[in-house]
A and B are shown apart, each in its own frame.
Chain A
């Protein structure tokens, strides 16, 4: 059993793409490694995944600047909670905390325009995936996606996802989604970083690089 989070992000002006899926007992997340700037992209290895704790990852895409600032703010606050209280927030609590912060800023002068996916493994509840958008809507889901990429990949996830996927099957499902993006999506997303969360913590899987267009 494994949670799969597939997260990819490509940005044209302010369009962002996130895909995330979770099934079973671990989470696999994927995010493309590029930072777009108008019509070029800045080559880099910037990570869009923020480690909130040993077993919680936050994927944050959206407006330039807002993403990093908001994600780091949440990250530091989660760590502060751990320091103050001696134990970590569960993924569910972290998701609700994040949502509350986003909601509080929503009607201020400086709302954060970010779309989020929060993934974590809880000792008692097992893996959990939380979808959050810039209007501060929160939903727990078996798989999720943000942005234009969602249009292409959600149906694949709908079709092939089962709650009892093995880890390898989950990675294959991810690959299916990436291949579809490679085939149909207008933006070229050259590489995706993938992470898996299970009861042992967060693991880096090998980067996925779709080869050539069909």
Chain B
């Protein structure tokens, strides 16, 4: 489900050749920029994104698309709110504005994506498989703590080998709402509020000042939405749309998807 939507062309075509340098499609009758390429051409310009020190040329280079991102999740009395942006960047280039950064592991577990897109979506899909096996073996749903521990143990084996993943595992189990932060460094932490990505600090500011335990569902959704919007306002690497999910006792529901520009007008309008 989520993996295929990442791979399909609803998001940007990530499969360009990375060893080709930046090139314009200059040909007879075409513009300088190459956007006037003949129909049927794939977008095939590649960018030698400068990534970190000591990177060598060639396919060994790590392309980290989603480190520039803002994802957040917090618990409140009616469950867990998960809010993410949808921008993918390759260096200073915006590769896509429509990336799905929330991975639907199963009908009651969600995982967010920050870091390398491939790492996140692959490992969370593998986690989905492990969760299903657990369900079949034990005849009961897996708890959020166990699911996050499975993921943490899986990526721990690859620690130091270049995985880049900062994810939040959110769900509802018999202990109530569950929220764990798991990353490729080996951290696995339970908590009530997390924000991950380059825009996380901006998001923390908004959520920390607006979070109360007695929020209604509407208010909590609006808080999550506003926090992501504020992060996209300040962080160049976050933007696109705000995807909002709510995890409750029956599972997760996709609440809304709103373009950040639309939110901008909505929030800034009354101030004029």
Contacts and interface: CB of A to CB of B under 8 A. Distances in A.
Interface string B187-226: 1111111100000110010000000000000000000000
Interface stretch (A40-48, A138-146, A162-170, A192-200): A40-48
Interface residues of B, number: 19
Contact of B189 (A35, A40, A69): A35
11 contacts: A35-B187, A35-B189, A37-B187, A40-B204, A43-B191, A43-B193, A45-B190, A64-B185, A65-B188, A69-B153, A69-B156
Contact of B159 (A43, A45, A65): A65
Interface of B: 152-153, 156, 159, 181, 183, 185-194, 200-201, 204
A195 B201 CA distance: 33
Given A42-B194, A64-B187, A65-B159, 13 more contacts: A37-B187, A42-B189, A43-B191, A43-B192, A43-B193, A44-B190, A44-B191, A45-B190, A65-B152, A65-B185, A66-B186, A68-B186, A69-B186
Query: A-B pairs with the 8 shortest C-beta distances?
Result: A65-B186, A44-B191, A64-B185, A64-B187, A64-B186, A44-B189, A42-B189, A35-B189
B106 to A, nearest CB: 25
A63 interface: yes
Interface of A: 35, 37, 40, 42-46, 63-66, 68-69
B192 A65 contact: no
A75 to B, nearest CB: 14
Given A42-B181, A42-B194, A43-B192, A63 B186 contact: yes
Most buried by B among A35, A65, A66, A68: A65
Contacts of A65: 152, 156, 159, 185-188
Contacts of B152: 65
A91 B185 CA distance: 31
A120 to B, nearest CB: 26
Contacts of A35: 187, 189
Nearest to B156: A65
Nearest to A69: B156
A35 B182 CA distance: 12
A112 B200 CA distance: 30
Contacts of A63: 186
